[in-house]
C-alpha cells in the first residue's frame, strides 16, 4: 500500500471518531425481550394489580413507595386522575370507580362548571385527565351515568381557555378567577385530548371548536410560548388528542407536520433509552435508565401517533416506524418490571429505589396501547 | 432530504478535487480516474444496498445512523477544508488506483456512512440514485478542476465546507427524525 502521512492522519481521525460514535451515538440498541402483545398485556395486568392491591379503602392510591422507608405522605390529584384513566383503559372498572368517587368528592362547583380542586386552586390538568378517564369509562362500558358531570368538567376547560387556544393553569379559587400565575407545558395537551373526547362523545354540542383551537395552539404555538429549548416537546397528551380528532375529521397539514416531528422526538428518546445499560461503559456514557413514567409516556405517544397514522394518509409512511418504536419501549418496560416481593413492590417499576403511582400509570397505558397495535391485523 | 440534496451532500463528502493529487500519479490518466470513480461509486452503492442488514447487525437505529453519518461526514469535511487534499503522492511519484485512491480517499468512512444513512432513512432506491449522481459530479470535478497549483486545494476546501453543512443537515435530520 502506498501510504502518506496525510492519509495516515485521515485514517487515525476516522478511527477515533468511529470508536467514539460506537460508544455514544451509534451504541447498540436493545429493546428487551421479543415483543409480543401477550407479554405486554401480562406486564400491564401486573401493573394494574399493583395499583389495585395498594389502593386505599377510600379510593385513593398509594402515591409513592420506597422499600425500607415506606409510603410517602405526599399526594397529587393530577396523578390520581391519570392513574384512574389507566385503570379504565385496562378495564379495571371497579377500582377506577372507587378512585373516581374519591376525586368527585373533591370537586369545586361554581359559575356553571365543575373542576377538581387542590388547595386554593383548581389545576386544569386534574380536570382534563378526569374527563379523559370518564370518557374512557363511557366508551368502554356504554354507561352514560357521568354525562352531566362530563359536560360540567368540559365547561371548566372552556372557561380557562385563552383566545390563542392555550389555557391558563386553571382557576384561582381564592380570587375566583382564572389562574394566570403561570402556564403549564402539558396541560394544553391534556385539555386538547379531553375536549376531543367530549366532541366524540357529544357530537354537535360545540366541543369541537375548543378542541380544534387547542390542537392548533399545541401544534403551532405551544413550544414557543413555553420556551421549549429543543422543540418539539415530547407531549404524548398532544399525540392522544390529535389521534382522537383525526377520528372525527381530517387534520390540517400544519398539525400533521407537527405530528411527524413529534414522532421523531419520541423515536429518538426511546432509541436513546434502548442504549442504556446497568453496567459497563454504557452505564457511564449513557446514564441511568429513565423512570417508567417517562418511558411510558414516550410509548403512549408513539402508540397514539400510530393510531393517527392509520387515519391520515399523509402520515401512513410512519405507521410502521411508530409501532416499532412503541414496541421497543414496551419491551424495555416489560424487562424492567419487578415481579417478586411484597405487594408494594410486585408489579411496579422502580427507579433509584422508589416507585410512584404514575410509573405504573404510564407503563400500563403504554403497554396496553402497544399490545392493541400489534394485535391489529 | 430530496434526491438532489442527497446527491450534492454525497458529492461534497466524497470530494473529488481532494483526490486530484492522487489521480495525477496514476498511469492511464483520465481513464484511470474514471475507473477509480466507478469503483468508488460501486462501493458507496453497495453500502447503500446493505444498509438494512448492516444496521441490524450493529443494533443501530435509523436516527443514530444519521447522526453518526453526520459526524463522520463532518470529520471528512473538516479534514478536506484544512488539508485541501486527501493525501499526496509517494516519493516515487506513483499512486495506487484502489488504495489509496478509491479507499480510503473517494469511498472513505464518510461517504460510506452517508450512503448507509440515506438508504436507511429515504430508501435504497433514493440512495443509489444519489450515489449515481454524486459519481457523475465527482468525475466531472476530478477531470475538470483546473490543474493550477491553487485549483484542486481551493475546490477541495470549498467542497469540504459544503460537506460540513451537509453533515449538520444529516445530524439534524437524525435528531428530528424527519
CA dihedral for A59, A63, A67, A70, sign (positive or negative) = negative
Residue among B64, B86, B94 minimizing CB distance to A271: B64
* B150-164 confidence digits (pLDDT tens): 888 898 999 999 999
Task: Report the C-alpha gap between B73 and B12 in whole angstroms.
Answer: 9
Residue of A216, A266, A271, A278 lying closest to A245 (CA atoms) = A216
Grid cell of B50 as nine digits: 446493505
Q: Give me the pLDDT at residue B128, please.
A: 93
pLDDT above 70 (res B6): yes
CB distance from B79 to chain A under 8 Å?
Answer: yes
Instruction: Let me know: does A317 contact A300? Beta carbons within 8 Å.
Output: no
Q: What confidence category does residue B92 fall into, taking pLDDT thresholds of 50, 70 and 90? A: low
Which residues of chain B are within 8 Å of residue A4 when distances are taken between CB atoms? 87-90, 100
* A296-307 confidence digits (pLDDT tens): 999 999 999 999
Instruction: Please give the biggest Cα pair distance in chain A.
Output: 85
User: Exposed, middle or buried: residue A316 (CB in 10 Å: 0-12, 13-18, 19+)?
Assistant: exposed
B87–A268 C-beta distance less than 8 A: no
CA dihedral for B93, B96, B97, B103, sign (positive or negative) = negative
Q: Give me the pLDDT at residue A4, please.
A: 62
User: Exposed, middle or buried: residue B100 (CB in 10 Å: 0-12, 13-18, 19+)?
Assistant: buried
* A348-362 confidence digits (pLDDT tens): 999 999 999 999 999
pLDDT above 60 (res A8): yes
Instruction: Let me know: does A125 contact A86? Beta carbons within 8 Å.
Output: no
* A167-200 confidence digits (pLDDT tens): 999 999 999 999 999 999 999 999 999 999 999 9
Task: Report the C-alpha gap between A292 and A234 in whole angstroms.
Answer: 15
ipTM of the complex: 0.79
Task: Report the C-alpha gap between A293 and A50 in whole angstroms.
Answer: 15
- Mean residue pLDDT of chain A comes to 94
* A312-365 confidence digits (pLDDT tens): 999 999 999 999 999 999 999 999 999 999 999 999 999 999 999 999 999 999
Q: What are the residues of chain A with a beta carbon less than 8 Å away from any beta carbon of chain B?
A: 1-4, 6-7, 9-11, 13-14, 17-18, 21, 25-30, 260-261, 263-265, 267-268, 271, 274
Residue among B58, B67, B83 minimizing CB distance to A28: B58
* A95-119 confidence digits (pLDDT tens): 999 999 999 999 999 999 999 999 9
Grid cell of A369 as nine digits: 396501547
Q: Across residues A5-30, what is the average pLDDT?
A: 83
pLDDT above 90 (res A373): yes
B63–A264 C-beta distance less than 8 A: yes
Per-residue HEC secondary structure of A317-343 comes to HHHHHHHHHHHHHHHHHHHHCCCCCCC
Q: Give me the pLDDT at residue A1, please.
A: 44
pLDDT above 90 (res A277): no
A271–B63 C-beta distance less than 8 A: yes
Strand partners, A167: A161
Instruction: Let me know: does B88 contact B156? Beta carbons within 8 Å.
Output: no
Total number of residues shown for chain B: 178
Helix, strand, coil tally for chain A in percent (to 5)? 60, 10, 35
How far does the CA of residue A377 sit from the closest CA of chain B (Å)? 25
How far does the CA of residue A265 sit from the closest CA of chain B (Å)? 6
Query: What are the Cα distances from residue B144, in Å, to A350, B14, B148, B161?
Result: 64, 16, 11, 20
Interface probe for A, chosen from B87, B88, B160, B171 (most Cβ of A below 10 Å), is B87
How far does the CA of residue A317 sit from the closest CA of chain B (Å)? 11
* A228-266 confidence digits (pLDDT tens): 998 999 999 999 999 999 999 999 999 999 999 999 999
pLDDT above 60 (res A126): yes
Q: Give me the pLDDT at residue B50, please.
A: 95
How far does the CA of residue B78 sit from the closest CA of chain A (Å)? 10
Task: Report the C-alpha gap between A51 and A313 in whole angstroms.
Answer: 38
Q: Give me the pLDDT at residue A12, please.
A: 82
Interface probe for B, chosen from A20, A22, A26, A309 (most Cβ of B below 10 Å), is A26
Q: How far is Cα of residue A255 from the mean position of the Cα atoms in its chain?
A: 19
Q: Across residues B29-44, what is the average pLDDT?
A: 87
A4–B61 C-beta distance less than 8 A: no
Grid cell of A271 as nine digits: 432509541
| Residue A251 burial (CB count, 10 A) | 22
- Mean residue pLDDT of chain B comes to 86
CB distance from B72 to chain A under 8 Å?
Answer: yes
Interface probe for A, chosen from B19, B82, B117, B176 (most Cβ of A below 10 Å), is B176
pTM here is: 0.86
Q: Give me the pLDDT at residue A37, please.
A: 96
pLDDT above 70 (res B94): no
Instruction: Let me know: does A26 contact A322? Beta carbons within 8 Å.
Output: no
Residue of A2, A16, A10 lying closest to B81 (CA atoms) = A10
Which residues of chain B are within 8 Å of residue A265 when distances are taken between CB atoms? 176-177
How far does the CA of residue A85 sit from the closest CA of chain B (Å)? 30
Interface probe for A, chosen from B51, B52, B64, B156 (most Cβ of A below 10 Å), is B64
CB distance from B52 to chain A under 8 Å?
Answer: no
* B50-78 confidence digits (pLDDT tens): 999 999 999 998 889 999 999 999 988 99
B71–A17 C-beta distance less than 8 A: yes
pLDDT above 50 (res A371): yes
CB distance from B110 to chain A under 8 Å?
Answer: yes
Residue among B58, B60, B79 minimizing CB distance to A10: B79
A14–B110 C-beta distance less than 8 A: yes
Query: What are the Cα distances from residue B69, in Å, to A13, A21, A22, A276?
Result: 14, 10, 12, 21
User: Exposed, middle or buried: residue A94 (CB in 10 Å: 0-12, 13-18, 19+)?
Assistant: exposed
Q: Across residues A275-293, what is the average pLDDT?
A: 83
Q: Which residue has 408513539 as its cell numbers?
A: A302
* B108-156 confidence digits (pLDDT tens): 889 999 999 999 988 999 999 999 999 999 988 888 877 777 888 898 9
Grid cell of B8 as nine digits: 450534492
* A37-63 confidence digits (pLDDT tens): 999 999 999 999 999 999 999 999 999
Amino acid at each position: 500500500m502506498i501510504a502518506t502521512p496525510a492519509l495516515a492522519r485521515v485514517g487515525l481521525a476516522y478511527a477515533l471518531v468511529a470508536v467514539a460514535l460506537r460508544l455514544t451515538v451509534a451504541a447498540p440498541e436493545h429493546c428487551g425481550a421479543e415483543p409480543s402483545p401477550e407479554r405486554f398485556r401480562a406486564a400491564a395486568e401486573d401493573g394494574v394489580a399493583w395499583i389495585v392491591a395498594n389502593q386505599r379503602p377510600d379510593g385513593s392510591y398509594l402515591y409513592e413507595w420506597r422499600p425500607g422507608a415506606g409510603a410517602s405522605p405526599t399526594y397529587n390529584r393530577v396523578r390520581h386522575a391519570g392513574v384512574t384513566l389507566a385503570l379504565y383503559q385496562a378495564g379495571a372498572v371497579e377500582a377506577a370507580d372507587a378512585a373516581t368517587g374519591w376525586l368527585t368528592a373533591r370537586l369545586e362547583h361554581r359559575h356553571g362548571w365543575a373542576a377538581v380542586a387542590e388547595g386554593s386552586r383548581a389545576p386544569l390538568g386534574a380536570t382534563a385527565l378526569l374527563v379523559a378517564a370518564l370518557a374512557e369509562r363511557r366508551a368502554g362500558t356504554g354507561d352514560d351515568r357521568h354525562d352531566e358531570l362530563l359536560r360540567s368538567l368540559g365547561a371548566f376547560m372552556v372557561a380557562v381557555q385563552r383566545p390563542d387556544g392555550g389555557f391558563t393553569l386553571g382557576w384561582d379559587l381564592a380570587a375566583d378567577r382564572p389562574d394566570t400565575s403561570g402556564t403549564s407545558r402539558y396541560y394544553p395537551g391534556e385539555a386538547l385530548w379531553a375536549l376531543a373526547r367530549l366532541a366524540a362523545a357529544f357530537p354537535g354540542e360545540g366541543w369541537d371548536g375548543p378542541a380544534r383551537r387547542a390542537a392548533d395552539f399545541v401544534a403551532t404555538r405551544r413550544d414557543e410560548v413555553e420556551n421549549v429549548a429543543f422543540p418539539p416537546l415530547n407531549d404524548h397528551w398532544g399525540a392522544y388528542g390529535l389521534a382522537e380528532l383525526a377520528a372525527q375529521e381530517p387534520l390540517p397539514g400544519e398539525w400533521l407536520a407537527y405530528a411527524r416531528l413529534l414522532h421523531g422526538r419520541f423515536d429518538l428518546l426511546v432509541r436513546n433509552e434502548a442504549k442504556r445499560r446497568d453496567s459497563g461503559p454504557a452505564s457511564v456514557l449513557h446514564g441511568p435508565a429513565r423512570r417508567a413514567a417517562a418511558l411510558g409516556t414516550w410509548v403512549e405517544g408513539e402508540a397514539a401517533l400510530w393510531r393517527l397514522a392509520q387515519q391520515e394518509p399523509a402520515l401512513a409512511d410512519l405507521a410502521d416506524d411508530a409501532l416499532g418504536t412503541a414496541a421497543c419501549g414496551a419491551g424495555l418496560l416489560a424487562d424492567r418490571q419487578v415481579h417478586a416481593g411484597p405487594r408494594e413492590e410486585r408489579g411496579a417499576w422502580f427507579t433509584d429505589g422508589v416507585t410512584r403511582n404514575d410509573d405504573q400509570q404510564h407503563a400500563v397505558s403504554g403497554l396496553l396501547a402497544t399490545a392493541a397495535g400489534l394485535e391489529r391485523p | 432530504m430530496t434526491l438532489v440534496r442527497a446527491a450534492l451532500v454525497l458529492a461534497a463528502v466524497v470530494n473529488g478535487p481532494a483526490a486530484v493529487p492522487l489521480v495525477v500519479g496514476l498511469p492511464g490518466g483520465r481513464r484511470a480516474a474514471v475507473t477509480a470513480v466507478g469503483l468508488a461509486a460501486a462501493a458507496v452503492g453497495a453500502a447503500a444496498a446493505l444498509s438494512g442488514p448492516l444496521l441490524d447487525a450493529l443494533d443501530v437505529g435509523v436516527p443514530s445512523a444519521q447522526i453518526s453519518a453526520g459526524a463522520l461526514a463532518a470529520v471528512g469535511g473538516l479534514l478536506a477544508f484544512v488539508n485541501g487534499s486527501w493525501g499526496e503522492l509517494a516519493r516515487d511519484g506513483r499512486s495506487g488506483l484502489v488504495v489509496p485512491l478509491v479507499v480510503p480517499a473517494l469511498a472513505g468512512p464518510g461517504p460510506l456512512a452517508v450512503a448507509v444513512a440515506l438508504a436507511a432513512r429515504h430508501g435504497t432506491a433514493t440512495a443509489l440514485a444519489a450515489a449515481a449522481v454524486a459519481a457523475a459530479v465527482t468525475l466531472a470535478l476530478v477531470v475538470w478542476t483546473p490543474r493550477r497549483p491553487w485549483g484542486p486545494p481551493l475546490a477541495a476546501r470549498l467542497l469540504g465546507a459544503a460537506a460540513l453543512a451537509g453533515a449538520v443537515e444529516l445530524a439534524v435530520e437524525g435528531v428530528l427524525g424527519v
